Structure 1
């Protein structure tokens, strides 16, 4: 804001607005002057009242009259129109000449590194089922959005990083995750209606709630995977391979 305005400009605009207001009240609409005087009078006499109810009533009436008077002023409408026009103009200028903020260059330039595109293991599908390759594959964290379909993720054919992540959000379908014995895991599942089977220990129905489990050694494990699943209707199964 300081870049586009200075004190002289703001002072000039205030004086211009006051002059326009006086001209409108004196020469164009005398009724507004009467309404303005009535509102100020209500505010003044509200301070003189001793009873709280009368004081509050006069204050509210005065505020209402003043607000209605200001809204009906042509000067106020022109001011609002000018503000909207200025905002639109500044937005248009920012699009034509965007402000560039760049960090200072170091004394020794850092060599440019290329950004490599990686192919995800799964693609978002509206309908259809998917599974990880049956042969050895390179791991990428899974962030999958499904419509209707099943997903099978076999972690025994890949090398997992220290903190692998699986995130699956679906509408209707089943999710099966096969975890090697040496890999610990945690699972956070939310659903409207679903069935959850975790190893051979936990089997329960989820009705409009969220559940969370983790293996006993998850906190200290060096090889582990975080699993997040959410769906409307379906089944989630996690078992060892």
Structure 2
């Protein structure tokens, strides 16, 4: 459905959604936003203690509360209604428009499409749950993922890095990130965090509060293989160490 929409239409939908979000904060004392934040806190506490009975209770109560809080927000209601209207409009157009097949004559037009190879990512985008690289040898592809809750563990000792620069990009809300780097690999780390701790190749930061850290090894600019790590966390710890 969305591939039929123009960029301007999508932009207007997002702008109206943001305006309603601001109105809810300004004129309804936060509306359901504070309830959603409280539910997210319950989810985080429950996830960290999920092996206990009360942890499971906190987690599922938080999930249910978060769903109800989000669905009761003005901006979310608007987006749902807009999505339903767009779906009905798109479905109506698809019924009225008959599919047309235009024959093509070989040699009439030169193709400008390049040959491309689609690569399988190492990680899919998961909102909940932990993710880690395989414990056996695996083929390397650059990592570019985002998530909500859970831990991410990446072990580079089980793969062969390219002769140029490997890239790891992770945007995450709540959870820990662990990255294990072989000794012969040069490293650059750019980490942003609202709350948490960072342990990067022997450098320890025990209390991060809305901070950005940048480190690189001495031979990063001249030596290969090397890996560039870019991470963003709302709340959680990052550990980058040699293995």
Normalising by structure 2, what TM-score?
A: 0.52
What is residue 176 of structure 1 aligned with on the other side? 178
Residues of 2 paired with 1:204 and 1:221: CA distance?
31
Residues of 2 paired with 1:182 and 1:203: CA distance?
25
Following superposition, the deviation at residue 183 of structure 1 comes to 0.2
Rg comparison, structure with higher value: 1
CA spacing shift, 1:209–1:200, aligned 2, 3 Å: closer
CA spacing shift, 1:114–1:234, aligned 2, 3 Å: same
What is residue 166 of structure 2 aligned with on the other side? 164
Q: Which of 221, 224, 234 is the equivalent residue of 1:222?
A: 224
Following superposition, the deviation at residue 198 of structure 1 comes to 1.1
**Structure-to-structure mapping, 1:1-241, within 5 angstroms:** 113-161=114-162, 162-241=164-243
Following superposition, the deviation at residue 203 of structure 1 comes to 3.5
SS of the aligned residue for 1:126 comes to: coil
CA spacing shift, 1:191–1:111, aligned 2, 3 Å: closer
Residues of 1 paired with 2:111 and 2:210: CA distance?
51
Following superposition, the deviation at residue 141 of structure 1 comes to 0.6
Question: Deviation above 3 Å: which 4+ runs of structure 1?
Answer: 109-114, 201-204
Residues of 2 paired with 1:122 and 1:116: CA distance?
18
Residues of 1 paired with 2:196 and 2:229: CA distance?
16
User: For 1:177-229, what per-residue CA distance to the aligned partner results, in whole angstroms no more than 9, with x for missing partners?
Assistant: 00000001011111111100012243442201211111122111111000000
Following superposition, the deviation at residue 110 of structure 1 comes to 8.0
Number of aligned residues: 133
Residues of 1 paired with 2:111 and 2:126: CA distance?
40
Residues of 2 paired with 1:204 and 1:182: CA distance?
27
The runs of 5 or more residues in structure 1 that have no matched partner are 1-108
Following superposition, the deviation at residue 116 of structure 1 comes to 2.4
The runs of 5 or more residues in structure 2 that have no matched partner are 1-109
Residues of 1 paired with 2:226 and 2:204: CA distance?
19
CA spacing shift, 1:216–1:148, aligned 2, 3 Å: same
What is residue 33 of structure 1 aligned with on the other side? none
CA spacing shift, 1:171–1:112, aligned 2, 3 Å: closer
